[in-house]
Amino acid sequence: MPDRAVIYEDVEVLEHDGRSLTCRIGNDRVVVRKYVPIDGTVIRQTGDRGRLALPRWYVEQQGLPLERHPSDPEVRSADGRRQHLR
């Protein structure tokens, strides 16, 4: 069975040099080699913001968080729904 992906939302590409992406994942600055992101990744260039999908083995090797954290828009959306229900 293939390794499951770990998905990060709202990731920002800070730098792209052709060999790797330097990204902001939450409060962490992470360097991801060019060929590591897998299907589902939508960020590619400096300034892009969106989904980053990484193989679980890479996430574990780099010591990145395994649990999925909601993105800022998801948190705002959930807060809005809670306000509406009151």
**Span 23-72, pLDDT tens digits:** 999 888 999 999 999 999 999 999 999 999 999 999 999 988 876 555 55
State which amino acid sits at residue 86: R
pLDDT of residue 73: 62
**C-alpha separations of 23 from 34, 40, 46, 72, 74 in Å:** 12, 16, 9, 16, 20
User: At 80, is the pLDDT very low, low, confident or very high (cuts 50, 70, 90)?
Assistant: low
Domain extent listing, the chain: 5-85
pLDDT of residue 4: 80
pTM across the whole model: 0.73
